[in-house]
Amino acid sequence: MKSRNTIQRSLVLEAVNRLKCHATADQIYAEIAKDHPTISKATVYRNLALLANWGEIRRLEIPGGADCFDHRCHDHCHVRCAKCGRVFDVDMEFVTGLEKGIHDSHGFFFTGYDILFHGICPDCQRSGQH
Ligand SMILES: [Zn+2]
Ligand SMILES: [Zn+2]
């Protein structure tokens, strides 16, 4: 039998997969609460943290904004719209060799990095023209 914790965790994982576009914890909570109004915000937050630690989902830290959660765990870059705040995937080759440079010059054992570009998304560009 599945434990309560396991069920809650799969609810959270399903919501991240369904929302796809780098939802914040609040958005993920709202998505789950639609079908499961009894689930608490703390439960959702705790499971998001667990899933991110296990590498099931990826936590994306947004400077000056709420963390986002990504269902795509492989290395990829992101671009954030300065107007609406949405975060999009950037389909470009991930730059390799950056870690080596950091290691060589600073003696770090380097575990990864995130690239976040800034811009204005097509939707916001269009609405700005009105
Ligand atoms: Zn936008
Ligand atoms: Zn992404």
CATH number of the CATH domain containing 67: 1.10.10.10
Share of the chain above pLDDT 90, in %: 54
pTM higher than 0.85 for the full model? no
Report the number of distinct structural domains present in the chain.
2
Ligand 2 centroid to residue 2 C-alpha, Å: 30
* Position 129 pLDDT exceeds 70: no
Question: Residue 82 and residue 107: Cα distance in Å, rounded?
Answer: 35
- Find out whether 98 and 113 touch, Cβ atoms under 8 Å: yes
Ligand closest to Cα of 126 equals 1
User: Based on the domain organization, do 115 and 56 belong to the same domain?
Assistant: no
| Domain end marker among 73, 89, 119 | 73
Poorest-confidence range of 38-47, 89-98, 109-118?
89-98
Helices 25-35 and 4-19: angle between axes, nearest 10 degrees = 110
Query: Is it the case that residue 130 has pLDDT exceeding 60?
Result: no
Q: How far is the CA of 99 from the centre of ligand 1 (A)?
A: 31
> For residue 1, what pLDDT is reported?
59
Q: How far is the CA of 18 from the centre of ligand 2 (A)?
A: 13
| Distances, alpha carbon 94 to alpha carbons 63, 89, 97, 121, in Å | 21, 12, 10, 21
Residues with CB under 5 A from ligand 2 (ion): 70, 72, 89
Domain boundary at 27, 47, 73, which? Answer: 73
Q: Where is average pLDDT lowest: 26-40, 57-71, 95-109?
A: 95-109
CATH code: domain of residue 102: 3.30.1490.190
Are 88 and 51 spatial neighbours (Cβ–Cβ below 8 Å)? Answer: no
Question: Greater confidence, 88 or 103?
Answer: 88
- Ligand with the closest atom to the CA of 83: 1
Q: Which residues contact 121 (CB under 8 A, 6 or more apart)?
A: 79, 81, 83, 84, 86, 88
- Higher-confidence residue of 109 and 55: namely 55
Q: What percent of the chain has pLDDT over 70?
A: 87
Please report the pLDDT score of residue 110 as a whole number: 72
Rg of the chain (C-alpha set) = 17
The domain of 80 spans: 74-130
pLDDT at 103: 65
Domain boundary among 73, 101, 117: 73
pLDDT score, position 94: 66
**Residues 22, 51 within the same domain:** yes
For the segment 68-79, the average pLDDT, to the nearest whole number, is 87
User: 52 C-alpha to center of ligand 1: Å?
Assistant: 26
| Same domain flag for 84 and 126 | yes
